[in-house]
Amino acid sequence: MMNVYSLRSYLLENIVMHFNILVMKINPTLQPMPPTLYYDYINQLIQAQQNVSDTIQWIINTDYQDNRYSQSLYDSFFFSSFQNNLCNVFQNYPQYNVNSIIIDNTICQSTYQGILLQGVSVSYKKILTMFPQLYNMFILSNSTQSLSQINSFLSTFNLPDFITFSEFLDQTLVSLNTFILTINRQYYNYVILFQIVLIVFQTVIMLLVFTFGWITFSNELNSSLHKSKTYLRIIDINTLIQNTYILTYFKKNSII
């Protein structure tokens, strides 16, 4: 779950930072502080791209390494979303679509050159390729040349299409995170139910063992008492009274 959440956090952070500087570059009056103050941090974000790509690959690989609760759902929804048509995935599992307005099942083909048809992995990596290009434009020492390249980029950049694409990808990551939380909650409830059933079963077994033991003990006790009564009926009381050993026993154990 943390890996999926970190993917979303990293994506939004890149979009906010790069487009914030982009706006400051084309409109200097909107600069609360020099854009250069952000360059080191943006460079760190770009340097982390390989780690993020490794995280995506690690998530995909876990499908073949781990066996988890509701594995079939993980295969058909969660892992499928990383490598297959996202619109088809959400069409098959609308219950995990957290925002049906943004995650529109009809726009994958027409949005951002149809990258969404190839799943989260390709879509995510595709959007990351734009940020190093922007960063290289920002850090040009010649401000005129920097602005010229930025304007050239913006002339071919379809902002509405990018917004639709990035929002779709963002809400997809939210949906995946929500899916994990839902499955984990179901697993937790399953474990609790199993423990309750186990406790009830153990209690019933203990009661049965106790009942069986008590019945056995009672039967043995009744049998011994019955034998004692039988022996007492057979032996003459006068014979018992005249027996020196028996009289001595009663005298020693009698309570005054």
Task: Decide: residue 46, CB within 10 A, 0-12 exposed, 13-18 middle, 19+ buried.
Answer: middle
The ranges assigned to domains in the chain are 2-199, 200-253
At 245, is the pLDDT very low, low, confident or very high (cuts 50, 70, 90)? confident
Instruction: Specify whether the CB–CB gap between 194 and 125 falls below 8 A.
Output: no
Alpha helices in 84-236 (DSSP H): 86-92, 119-128, 130-138, 143-156, 159-234
Lowest mean pLDDT among 3-12, 111-120, 215-224: 215-224
What are the tens digits of pLDDT across the range 215-244?
888 888 888 777 777 766 776 666 666 677
Q: What pLDDT does 59 receive?
A: 87
Average pLDDT over the chain, rounded to whole?
Answer: 87
Say whether pLDDT at 140 is over 80: yes
- CA distance linking residue 228 with residue 225, whole number of Å: 5
What is the model's pLDDT at position 114?
A: 93
Alpha-carbon distance of 236 to 243, in angstroms, equals: 11
Query: Would you state the pLDDT for residue 5?
Result: 84
Query: Are 161 and 127 in contact, with CB atoms under 8 Å apart?
Result: no
pLDDT tens figures, 54-109: 989 988 888 666 677 888 889 999 999 999 999 999 999 999 999 999 999 899 99
Residue 95: predicted pLDDT: 93
**b/e for 140-177, b at 16 or more Cβ within 10 A?**
eeeeeebeebbeeeeeeeeeeebebbbebbbbbbbbbb
